[in-house]
Amino acid sequence: MIEWREMKSGWLAGLIIGCLTLSEFSPQTIDAADQQRPNIVWIIPDDMSANFSCYGETAIQTPNVDRLAASGIKFTNAYVTAPVCSTCRSAFITGMYQTSIGAHHHRSGRGELKIKLPEGIQLVPKLFQEAGYHTSITGWPMNGRLGKTDYNFEWDKSVYDGNDWAKRKKGQPFFAQIQTAGGKLRGKDASGWEKVSRAAEKRFGSRTPNSAVKLPPYYPDHPNIVRDWAAYLDSVRMTDAMVGDVLARLEAEGVRDNTLVLFMTDHGISHARGKQFMYDEGLHVPMVIAGPGVKAGTVRKDVVEHIDIAALSLAAAGIEIPKYMQARDILSADYSPREAVFAARDRCDETVDHMRSVRTGEFKYIRNFLPNRPYLQPCAYKDAKAILIAIRESHKTGTLNEIQQLVMREVRPKEELYEINNDPHEINNLADDPAFAGKLKQLRGRLDTWMEETNDNGRVAESKKMYDSDMAIYLSTIKRRSTPAHLKIIEDNIAVMRKWAAEGK
């Protein structure tokens, strides 16, 4: 039985239903039975860390996400398994580690050579469809197009019935994904900063002042970095307002009481040490879940992985979780908390890298498989950002302090170990400290076991044919959409990647 407990928020009280079989979830099910089955809504912004007031952010207020958290569960230790969009999304839409399904390189399989999912693995929306749900994916506000997918494998668009749950049949339950720009709203430079701050000022009557910004200690107090962070906080405010709009629509349609709403970002803030990196700034995300069966005001501190949203959503709808799925139903009454969570970073666009990490509640272990490469490898996407330009300029002028120099190192340690509770910014690497030799060995072994047991495809380097295939379509796209100068930068970066690979670097 699934118990639908009375909720303090008043969403739903005292409803108890049985676990229906998959056959009972067929499209032929009568309306009354369908209406008992909860709707599932995922709200997933891009490029955003847990900078919400319910997570301790003090520079801004985020009343809508705060209210959602108060009416349900707030996970304080939720982590993505990949700190970049397409690999993260390929993982949560299958409930599988991206490394297990060969989708671990960012924007891979886009050229002549394609990537196919291992036999038998289905996308989550397909499983919902087969159970009689209407499936949709959209941006917000809705514009008539499907929302962001960005999967690194071949897939059938028919797994989505459309871009709006309003198009479902009468009484049909729905699974809806709302994919939003999130941190991308701030753009890469002053024009983007002004655009999002102006939008915030129009909606809220004010913009986030530079004086409210408190940067992490590893970033210099450069005017552009401060201004960018203020604009980022405005993007958080705009995202919070969007969450409020979605909840208001559900309320207006009379379906909010029977809708499980999940809010989570696809990875952390796009910054020098965030997106694409294995530090918490890139991996730690907010995760809030509220709706029928969820006890209000709950705070979960155990570590969970972002892929778990696949399993818990299927379970909430009474759909059997496939045995192959690595995601876990973290809302199950008999759920046994994870002891650790894992993450992987591989090639991002033209930039080849190979990192793995394991994190417990107290420690983070990172392995750099390419330690002879600089922290900030050439990467056209990140290098075009004004904040990266500012950091590089500050490095050249000698104005970075010792902590701020960390990302400017020309080589990396093979292993990094951080005691998170005492070092939340992951600054003091304990890998060479004899006092932590036992912990280092333990986490090293745990990572090795995970890579073996989950069939980490990254243990074998990406083939030259696949890299060349993806770079050909990447360059073709840039040639159509950008400037010759930008194209030249990417071509030069590709040449560097090939040179370093030939050198064994």
Residue 253 tokens read as 């349609």
pLDDT at 464 over 50: yes
pLDDT tens-digit profile of 352-408?
A: 999 999 999 999 999 999 999 999 999 999 999 999 999 999 999 999 999 999 999
pLDDT tens-digit profile of 241-287?
A: 999 999 999 999 999 999 999 999 999 999 999 999 999 999 999 99
Q: Lowest-confidence range among 139-153, 187-201, 441-455?
A: 139-153
Quickly tell me which residue has 């490469």 as its tokens.
Answer: 373
Could you tell me if residue 123 is inside a domain?
Answer: yes
Could you tell me if residue 408 is inside a domain?
Answer: no
pLDDT value of residue 144: 87
Q: Determine how β-strand 284-290 pairs with β-strand 259-264.
A: antiparallel
Peptide bond into 141 cis (omega under 30): yes
Quickly tell me which residue has 């009454």 as its tokens.
Answer: 333
User: pLDDT-based confidence at 294, cuts 50/70/90?
Assistant: very high
Could you tell me if residue 451 is inside a domain?
Answer: no
pLDDT at 73 over 70: yes
Contact 149, 125 (CB under 8 A): no
pLDDT at 24 over 70: no
Rounded Cα distance, 53 and 60, in Å: 7
User: pLDDT-based confidence at 5, cuts 50/70/90?
Assistant: very low
pLDDT at 32 over 90: no
**48-81 b/e with 16+ CB inside 10 Å = b?**
bbbbbbbbebebbebebbbbbbbbbbbbbbbbbb
pLDDT value of residue 36: 85
pLDDT at 15 over 70: no
Which residues are within 8 A (CB) of 463 and not within 5 positions of it... i.e. 6 or more apart?
A: none
Q: What distance lies between CA 495 and its chain's CA centroid?
A: 30
Q: Indicate which CATH number applies to the domain containing 20.
A: 3.40.720.10
pLDDT at 195 over 50: yes
Rounded Cα distance, 203 and 207, in Å: 9
Helix-strand-coil percent breakdown of the chain, rounded to 5? 35, 15, 50
Rounded Cα distance, 148 and 160, in Å: 12
Rounded Cα distance, 501 and 220, in Å: 32
For 498, phi then psi, to 5°, come to -65, -40
Contact 47, 269 (CB under 8 A): yes
Residue by residue, DSSP assigns 51-109 as -SGGGT--SS--HHHHHHHHTSEEEEEEE-SSSSHHHHHHHHTTTS-TTTTT--SBT-S
pLDDT value of residue 143: 85
Contact 291, 246 (CB under 8 A): no
User: pLDDT-based confidence at 34, cuts 50/70/90?
Assistant: low
Instruction: For the chain, give the mean pLDDT.
Output: 93
Q: Lowest-confidence range among 24-33, 120-129, 285-294, 345-354?
A: 24-33
Work out how many domains the chain is built from and give that number.
1
pLDDT tens-digit profile of 231-242?
A: 999 999 999 999
Triad 493, 494, 496: Cα angle to 5°: 65
pLDDT value of residue 295: 97
Could you tell me if residue 450 is inside a domain?
Answer: no
Rounded mean pLDDT, 197-202: 98
DSSP one-letter code for 170: T
Which residues are within 8 A (CB) of 211 and not within 5 positions of it... i.e. 6 or more apart?
A: none
pLDDT value of residue 35: 57
Rounded Cα distance, 475 and 478, in Å: 5
pLDDT tens-digit profile of 121-177?
A: 999 999 999 999 999 999 998 888 999 999 999 999 999 999 999 999 999 999 999
Range of the domain at 46: 2-182+258-333
